[in-house]
């Protein structure tokens, strides 16, 4: 199996479904409206296999359905972005030059200490952010999305200055 597939995620599918502990058969993701980018379908052999939603920039960047092989890449370096770019780089070598279809939106602006403050505030409200380390990993991203949805906000699943100001 490959490491994963770039996908489009409809707004009706919560970005808080991200994570290696929330896997579904790829056919289930498809039934929810998730599609591969472009006109490609998922390979038939993949539809019965487990896949995991990955949205490293929340709604502000490309999204992926990754396979367990993505997490093998993370055994060397636990960063989602590291594993993503190693897998993507391997695809580019094997299949030619192809950029992500999704663009990376505004994901900067906060210091690591700001994100740690946000994480501590979410922890105080009972959310599992992994740890208050200032890194927006999948547990932090999905906790943000869950908090946003619970509080009547559009779920972006990524930290920003407005969210920090509200939760501080």
17 with 90, same domain?
Answer: yes
| 101 within a domain of the structure (yes/no) | no
DSSP string of 120-158, one letter each residue: HHHHHTT---S-SSS---HHHHHHHHHHHHHTTS----S
- Kindly state the average pLDDT of the residues 137-146: 96
Whether residue 89 sits in one domain with residue 12:
yes
**Same domain (yes/no): 25, 66:** yes
Domain termination site, one of 61, 95, 129: 95
Q: Are residues 90 and 116 in the same domain?
A: no
| Shared-domain flag, residues 91 and 12 | yes
Considering the domain architecture, whether residues 88 and 123 belong to the same structural domain is answered as: no
Q: Provide the pLDDT for residue 96.
A: 81
Instruction: Please tell me the predicted confidence (pLDDT) of residue 31.
Output: 98
Task: Based on the fold, state whether residues 9 and 61 are members of the same structural domain.
Answer: yes
My answer on whether 71 and 129 are in the same domain is no
Whether 87 and 117 map to the same domain: the answer is no
Report yes or no on 82 lying in a domain: yes
Provide the H-helix boundaries in the chain.
Answer: 26-31, 68-73, 80-95, 112-124, 138-150, 161-167
pLDDT at 161 over 80: yes
Task: Based on the fold, state whether residues 73 and 32 are members of the same structural domain.
Answer: yes
Residue 102 included in any domain = no
- Residue 154 and residue 141: Cα distance in Å, rounded? 13
Q: CA nearest 5: which of 85, 71, 88?
A: 88
pLDDT-based confidence at residue 108 (cuts at 50, 70, 90) = confident
Token digits for 1?
């199996």
Q: What is the mean pLDDT of residues 39-51?
A: 94
Please state the rounded mean pLDDT for residues 132-143: 95
The mean pLDDT of the chain is: 93
CA distance 120 to 164: 11
Q: Which of 53, 69, 95 is the last residue of a domain?
A: 95
Domain span at residue 60 reads 4-95
Q: Kindly report, residue by residue over 60-105, the tens digit of the pLDDT.
A: 999 999 999 999 999 999 999 999 999 999 989 988 868 888 888 8
- Per the structure, how many domains does the chain have? 2
- Is 138 in the same domain as 72? no
So what's the pLDDT on residue 121?
96
Nearest to 139 by CA among 119, 121, 155, 156: 119
Full-model pTM: 0.92
Q: How far apart are CA 68 and CA 31, in angstroms?
A: 20
Mention every residue, 6+ apart, whose C-beta is less than 8 A from residue 118.
Answer: 110, 140, 144, 159, 163, 164, 167, 168
82 and 121 co-located in one domain: no
């Amino acid at each position: 199996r490959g490491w994963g597939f770039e996908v489009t995620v409809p707004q009706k599918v919560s970005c808080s479904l991200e994570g290696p502990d929330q896997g579904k058969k790829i056919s289930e993701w498809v039934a929810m409206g998730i599609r591969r980018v472009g006109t490609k379908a998922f390979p038939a052999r993949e539809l019965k296999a487990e896949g995991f939603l990955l949205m490293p920039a929340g709604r502000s960047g490309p999204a992926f359905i990754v396979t367990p092989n993505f997490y093998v890449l993370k055994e060397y370096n636990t960063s989602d972005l590291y594993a993503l770019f190693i897998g993507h780089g391997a695809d580019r070598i094997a299949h030619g030059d192809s950029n992500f279809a999704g663009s990376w939106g505004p994901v900067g602006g906060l210091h690591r200490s700001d994100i740690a403050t946000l994480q501590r505030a979410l922890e105080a409200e009972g959310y599992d952010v992994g740890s208050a380390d200032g890194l927006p990993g999948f547990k932090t991203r999905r906790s943000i999305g869950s908090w946003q949805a619970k509080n009547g906000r559009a779920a972006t699943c990524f930290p920003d200055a407005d969210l920090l100001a509200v939760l501080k």
